[in-house]
Chains A and B, each alone.
Chain A
């Protein structure tokens, strides 16, 4: 698999193939289990730079780590005042936005990555969001994408940490990425970019599997695969609980 990825990168990125520096990396865990008491988690992304020659002179080596949740379409709605009340008046559909996105870098983004490279690799939050074909009736569609980023940044779903990667001796690096409690299931793509002068010299990609386990898994599957049984079961629980409470209280009072 690793060889295949390396081959792909050689084909896709002829520049990277020339590079003297390669990244090797790993995650502290390949799987995050969402249990009933899941209250967020932290994964450690760590790695090293492999070289066959001495460390090149010139601009410093930089590292970017991104962790991206599954992409999904979202609808952004805007309220405005109509007849004295605030109602949703316009909406824009964003084709694909990650449910969670974290970026950590060794230095401010401007120093680490050039705009062209960002466009090519879709590293920063605005690049990660894909929105094609803005509706004709909304002249300011960008405002909706900006709002999506703002709202998700405020709720901790999109995180940018411009000193979140620690690089030592220009060789070893590590970054701790906090995963919030409100995590959606799915495969989380984890990417690592090595850059010099704003240019990507090597990349590494792996996935983090976020899944519900135990009761959460069982309930989720039942609800989607056997909705009628799930619904009846929910009602039985409710009726039994109601009856039990009544019986218990009667017993307590004698």
Chain B
């Protein structure tokens, strides 16, 4: 069954969209990533114009993140205090990111830079996560001993310390704000929530317990993507309500299923799985850049 999307002005298969939304929802619930790094390229692939795909993707992520965060809130696996600190940084960062994005659009080649950003960051994050979690899995299999916390000398020396009870941390708020801000910049440029960078940053840079990382990441993604959605709706008129509604319908159901699967798997297994998905998307995007495309020409409506 085909459905005509009013803003995208294309007709697409309804069940394909529901399936896409569902798949991304499952990932969202399992890993606490918004899934933007998957939904946006997939929407390009089925013929939705890139600008609409980016803006509508952000709107869909809001819904699946709300659904996911509520499930986590009931389990008390959201560090609201840490989430708020990250969010403050995140909003500042996304403001800067949108400014950079517009600057790059004027210079041309913004598509290339976005893709390069994807390849580089997905590649780094995916590889680091895979190596770390494989090592953790081996360690726990061999001895069953809790791995030693890394020494964080300079982080401990920073001022403005705050107690984060849920995470069991007593650290300066400067690192979380910096993490939030840099993820915000990248999120705005790449048109994603930034969970795939935020989650590892929280685990490896802030040393937060894996248990609360997912919920906290989802919490701040809601606000960052909500902000992005509004910006796109107001400046570019590219949010497609019908497309978003269908993706959301698939996504919210998927997110609930994903949360259940996530609870059954072990933290290391979850991380390995996410790492593999991240690397796969990275390889696909890298191949698009490296291999000669079938059609060298592309068409955009409008003027230069």
Give the interface of A toward B (CB within 8 A). 34-40, 72-81, 84-88, 91, 93, 99, 144, 147-148, 150-152, 181-185, 212, 215-217, 219-220, 223-224, 227-228, 230-235, 237-239, 241-246, 249-250
Contacts and interface: CB of A to CB of B under 8 A. Distances in A.
B244 A238 contact: yes
Main secondary structure of the interface of B (DSSP, over half): helix
A131 to B, nearest CB: 13
Of A35, A84, A184, A227, most B-chain CB atoms within 10 Å = A227
A82 to B, nearest CB: 9
A181 B249 CA distance: 23
Interface of B: 1-4, 6-7, 9-11, 47, 59-60, 62-68, 70-71, 74, 108-109, 111-112, 226, 229-230, 232-234, 237, 239-242, 244-245, 248-249, 252-253, 255-256, 288-293, 295-304
B233 A246 contact: no
A100 to B, nearest CB: 12
A249 B253 CA distance: 8
B10 to A, nearest CB: 5
B70 A246 contact: yes
Contacts of B240: 219
16 contacts: A85-B290, A87-B109, A215-B242, A216-B6, A219-B240, A223-B6, A228-B230, A231-B239, A235-B226, A235-B230, A238-B59, A238-B244, A241-B63, A242-B248, A244-B252, A245-B256
Closest 10 pairs (CB-CB, A-B):
A242-B66, A231-B233, A181-B11, A245-B252, A147-B297, A238-B63, A242-B67, A246-B70, A39-B2, A238-B62
Contacts of B256: 245-246, 249
B7 A223 contact: yes
A84 B67 contact: no
Contacts of A80: 296
Given A37-B3, A242-B64, A249-B256, A234 B297 contact: no
Contacts, number: 195
B75 to A, nearest CB: 12
Nearest to B113: A87
Nearest to A246: B70
A215 B70 CA distance: 31
Contacts of B232: 231
Contact of A72 (B1, B289, B301): B301
A2 B4 CA distance: 35
Contacts of A34: 4
Given A181-B4, A219-B6, A75 B302 contact: yes
A144 B297 contact: yes
Given A75-B303, A224-B237, A184 B230 contact: no
B241 A86 contact: no
B65 A75 contact: no
B304 A239 contact: no
B301 A74 contact: yes
Nearest to A80: B296
Contacts of B66: 238-239, 241-243, 246
B252 A242 contact: yes
Nearest to B291: A86
A47 to B, nearest CB: 30
Of A91, A228, A231, A243, most B-chain CB atoms within 10 Å = A231
Nearest to B112: A87
Given A76-B297, A148-B299, A242-B66, A38 B304 contact: no
A224 B245 CA distance: 18
Given A144-B297, A216-B4, A242-B62, A234 B302 contact: no
Nearest to B238: A223
B259 to A, nearest CB: 9
Given A223-B233, A231-B230, A237-B244, A88 B302 contact: no
Given A39-B11, A231-B234, A238-B248, A79 B62 contact: no
Of A79, A183, A216, A242, most B-chain CB atoms within 10 Å = A242
Contacts of A241: 63, 66-67, 245, 248-249, 252
